[in-house]
Amino acid sequence: MLSTCKPPVLSLPKLKEQLQIIVASGPFTYPDIFDMEPLIKLMEYFAENEINVLILCGPFVDDRLPVVKESVFDIAFEKVFKNMIEKVMVYVKGKSTKVVLVASMCKPKYNSTI
C-alpha cells in the first residue's frame, strides 16, 4: 500500500544581510614554478572584503609542476599543504569567516623517501 504522505515544505532562511562567498579551485601555485603567490593574492582579496564563507577546492599543489615531476621537493606534501593552510588561516584569524576545504581527486605523485 502506498502512502499519500507529502514531504514537509521547508522554508528558506531569511538573511539579514548579504552573504559573501568566495569559491576558488586550485592548484594555488603557478603552473611552471612552485610559488604560492596565487594563493596569497586570493587571500589579499579576501582580507579587503567582508567574506562570510571561503571555499577552497583542491588540488592545492599541481602534480604537473616540474619540481613535483622531478621529485625535487625536499619536504613532504603534507608539510606543503599544512604551510598553505597556515597562510590561509593568518588572513582568517579574528574574522567570523567559515572556511571549507574540498579535497581533490588529483593527488600529487612523488617518490617516497622511506
Domain that holds residue 78: 21-102
Query: What pTM was computed for the model?
Result: 0.75
**Residue 57 belongs to a domain:** yes
Out of 2-11, 29-38, 83-92, least confident range: 2-11
Asked if the bond preceding 108 is cis, omega within 30° of 0, the reply is: no
Our measurement of the distance from residue 41's CA atom to the centroid of its chain's CA atoms, rounded to an integer in Å, reads: 14
Q: Note the pLDDT of residue 96.
A: 93
Q: Which residues share a beta bridge with 53?
A: 21, 98
**Residue 70 belongs to a domain:** yes
Integer Cα distance of 89 and 92 in angstroms: 5
Count of the separate structural domains present in the chain? 1
Which pLDDT band holds residue 90 (cuts at 50, 70, 90)? very high
| pLDDT per position as a tens digit, 29-74 | 887 778 899 999 999 999 999 899 999 998 888 777 766 666 655 5
Q: Note the pLDDT of residue 98.
A: 95
